[in-house]
Structures are given as C-alpha cells and as structure tokens.
Structure 1
Amino acid sequence: MAEYQVFQKLQSHLGTPITYELVYSDRTTPLILGENINLYWTGTMTCLSCQSLIKKTFQNGYCFQCFSTKASCDMCILRPERCHYHLGTCREPNWGLAHCFTEHVVYLANSTGLKVGISRKSNIPQRWIDQGAKEACVLLTCSNRLISGQLESFLARTLSDKTKWQQLLQGVDSPLDMSFAHAHWQNYLKMHLQAIGVSLSDVTWVDFQLQTFKYPVDAYALKAKSIKLAIGDNQLGQLLGVRGQYLIFQQGGLNMRNLQGYHIINPSGSVR
C-alpha cells in the first residue's frame, strides 16, 4: 500500500476572506475553491494522543484508552459547569491547571442564529472561526473554565449553545442586532449572578466590540447532508467553499474535525 499521511486538522488563517489548509503529519495542503477533492482513506487511524493504530476513534481522534483517561476527553470538556478539579478528581491535574485555570470568555456569536459559548481568551477569534460564526462579541471575562461554564449553562436555558450545521451548509444566515443582544444578555447576567452562584468580583464585563468574518464560499450545498468517508477512494467533487470545520460540496459538507487521525494516501488536492 502507498504511504499514508495522518490527518491532523483543518487550519484557518484570519483574513478577508479567511484562508484554509489541510494539515497532515508531514505536509500541509492549501484549499483552493473550484478544485476537485479526492481523499483515499485506508480504513485505519492513529490516536492523536498515544499514536497507536486504531480502527475506531472516540471524541474525534482518540483510542478508547485515551478517551477514558485523558482530561481533554472528560465529560467536563462538553459540560464545563461540571468541572470537578476542586474535588481532587481531575484525570490530569497539571493539564487542568494549564487549560482550565486561565482567563476565559463568555461570548455571543451569530453563525446560524444567536448562540452563547465559552472559550479560553487566548483561543479567540479562532474559536469563532472554527464554528463558522459570521460575527461575534465577548460579554465578559473570568478567571477559569468552571465560572464561564456556569454562566454559559444559565444562558443556555434561553439561548442556543449549538450551531445548526445543516443551515451552515446551506448558507442560512440570520441578520441580528448584535449590539442590542450584547447589552440585553449582559444586563440579564448581571441581574442573575447571585442566583447562578457567581460573585460580581469573579467577572469583568466587556464593552461591545464586534468582530466579523468572511468565509471562502462560492456557493453552498444543495443538500444539508453530512458526508461520511468510505474506505478507499472518495471522489468528493468540486470544492464550493469552506466554513467552520466543513468543506462544502454540492452534495453536502464534510466535517474535517471528524477525520482527525485518519490515514489518507497521497493527500494533494485533486491528485490522489
């Protein structure tokens, strides 16, 4: 069998529009609209943590052992309000200190409508680009992931905390007054901090500042369908656009985050 490359991630670069490239173990491949994309998958994968060869991944790129033991795969990554570091039960305390006890933001983003989210401050605006947000703004900053998760969880009772990927693939955008939304939901949090169990001294309110993004898209998908790679040659057709973590084709979108760790033979755009 021909030599394979391990797919690492879809890398974006801020610009107007944003540019993208596919990052593999030993090379990067720029994405160019209009190119025909073929991906030959061997059917095997490499765990992104321990590098073992696997045939099934968990949480986008991990073997079951790492999924079960890594702090980056714990339930509190998806539900940050359930952080249990203070209970002494963090899977990897040093990792937790480095990733969860840094400055975090609670933000509003418009990708397929208004949503609330959190991120390490150092990961902004990358987080917004990865979600395919058209525009976004920060509501507040706080000192750790737990506090940001508690605030997000409270707002998620009323606001969405998910991007509707089907609408993203078809370019369904919702015009929003982000300045109004920022003022409204910031005031809403201020009124409910005590009920949430967060002290006023734990947060720093951020004035409204909007960041907007333009994605490289010539056309959107005709169908809101998630494309799955089959073992062997996958002739995906002409690349129409890239937004968030999706490569957009006429027949749907390919979520590149799902392919982390996949073994791809000779990945070079239209050439197999």
Structure 2
Amino acid sequence: MTTWSGNISKMKAFAFPDGKVNYQLPIGDELIEMNTLIGKNISVEYKGQINCIHCSRKTNKSFSQGYCFVCMRGLAQCDTCIIKPELCHYSEGTCREPEWGEANCLQDHIVYLSNTGNVKVGITRHISDNVSSRWIDQGATQALAILRVKERLLSGLVETEISKFIGDKTNWRTMLKGKAKSLDLIEIRDEVLNKVDQKISELQQQYGLQALQTIDTDVVEITYPVNKYPEKIKSINLDKDMTFSGELVGIKGQYLLLDQERVINVRKYAGYCVSLHA
C-alpha cells in the first residue's frame, strides 16, 4: 500500500485525442495518477487542517473552494464577477487587482454549449487540443464552442442573453447518474443563435464587429473513466466524516465515485490536508 499526504487541490485533467479523460490529484508536491486507482480500494483521512490555496496560511474554514477569508475578500479571482462575468467592473476602475484582470479578464473568451445531462451555456478562456478543462470539470460528455468574444464582460453579456433560452447551470446529481443522452448541439446552436441574433448585432455595434464572432467547429465528445455510476447518490462530507474508504469505481467532473453509491467533490475540499492510501 502506498500513502500520499499533504494539502489537496482540484484534480488536474486532460483529454486524450480519443476524448478519454485522465485525472491527476495534487497532494502536497506530488501528482497522483488517479485513473490507475480505479477498481482499487482507497482510503482517505482528513487531518483536521486547512491551508489557503493562495497564501498557505492556516484557516478554520475554507471560502470560495480553498481560500482563507482574507484572500477571499481581497483577490480578484474571488470577486462576484468571476461567477457572474456580466458584472465585471474593470472599466469602472474598481477591479481588486487590475494586473490580474488585464491578464485574465481582458482576454479572448469562448461561449460554448455543453451536455451535462441537459444542454447548458457557459464560458471558458482556455481550450487545449480542442477541449476545455472547464468542460471536464463540469462533467460534460459533449461540448461545442459557438462564439469568440474579446473579453470576459462581453462573454457574460452574451451568456446572459443565451441563458434566457438555455440553462447555465449543471445539475451535478444528474451529471453523476450516468452518461448523458447524446444531443444535436449543432442544431441547438443554430436555433439559439437565431434567437439572439438581434442582441449579438447590438453588441457588435457597441463593441465592434471583431469583438464578437461566431465559430464554426465540430462537437467535442468526452468520455470519463467510470466503471459504475451510482443510482442513488450519497455525498461524503469531509468536515463530518473525516475518514472514508472503499473501491474507487470512477471519476467524473471533479467527483470521485466510490462503491455504495458514495461520491465526493474534490474541488470543494481544496486546501484540506489529507492522507490517501491505495
């Protein structure tokens, strides 16, 4: 049996050319190849210590999935506009960290459709080898980039308009209960772009024609390393159940799927100090 100990953060994930996802779990200074543990028994023990994923100081409570209270209140990446990009206030001169905003928000963003059990609209900044890690984090089995916009604020305005016709939230319980039924994202894209055509034209007039452009690309298919999906879901809470063990039957999104219908959202416990035995 091997043991790894240290503070964890959200799993790193990438898709191979065939769409299969590979996961690595950061624990301390190590990256654990999680796909190799599927089908094996693992045990996890929470040591009762949390360290901020930004400044490393000890904190009694985790905020915004891994930050201490001070960082949560001061970092631009923890501001409300990260969850609601249409509220970006960089242009008003009130960004918490203007340099961070320039490097992350004043860059091209992609508006996309994905299938996480139901079709949803979302935004992402990074797409590597045609796949965004955000699609993987949300457990999407299909995704389609539909628009490229020049900055985060504009992507939020477009997402808000499209969300009048398509949801913008992932139902994590639906996502974890099995592979989603395949959807015709091309047809859905054409329908929704037709519905928001006037709004897109208005935004182009306001921000410039090059600030918002449609993308013609193929649907991306994504598959996850799951041997068995739960029929009923029992969520593991590390703050209450400081230890758990069992067979790792799969990984999807940022969730570990264990036997006896149990799941745990790794990202929720970023900064927690744990020991993993496998």
TM-score (norm 2): 0.89
1:13-65 deviations in whole A, cap 9, x for unaligned? 31242121211222122222111221110111110111101120000000001
Matches for 1:254-269 after TM superposition, within 5 Å: 254-265=264-275, 267-268=276-277
Q: Name the Cα RMSD after superposition.
A: 2.0
Matches for 1:57-206 after TM superposition, within 5 Å: 57-122=62-127, 124-171=131-178, 173-194=180-201, 199=207, 201=209, 202-206=211-215
Matched, 1:21 2:24: yes
Whether contact under 8 Å (1:182, 1:208) holds in the other structure is no
Whether contact under 8 Å (1:40, 1:231) holds in the other structure is no
Matched, 1:209 2:209: no
How many percent of aligned residue pairs carry the same amino acid?
34
SS of the residue corresponding to residue 239 of structure 1 reads: strand
| One-letter identity of the residue aligned with 1:27 | E
Matched, 1:38 2:43: yes
- Counterpart residue number, 1:237: 246
Runs of 4+ off more than 6 Å: none
For the residues of structure 2 that align with 1:3 and 1:178, how far apart are their CA atoms? Answer: 41
Structure 2: gaps (5+ residues): none
SS of the residue corresponding to residue 181 of structure 1 reads: helix
Q: 1:72, CA displacement in angstroms? A: 0.3
Would you say how many aligned residue pairs link Structure 1 and Structure 2? Answer: 267
For the residues of structure 1 that align with 2:230 and 2:241, how far apart are their CA atoms? Answer: 24
TM-score (norm 1): 0.91
For the residues of structure 1 that align with 2:166 and 2:153, how far apart are their CA atoms? Answer: 19
Deviates more, 1:43-52 or 1:216-225: 216-225
Whether contact under 8 Å (1:80, 1:149) holds in the other structure is yes
Q: 1:139, CA displacement in angstroms? A: 0.9
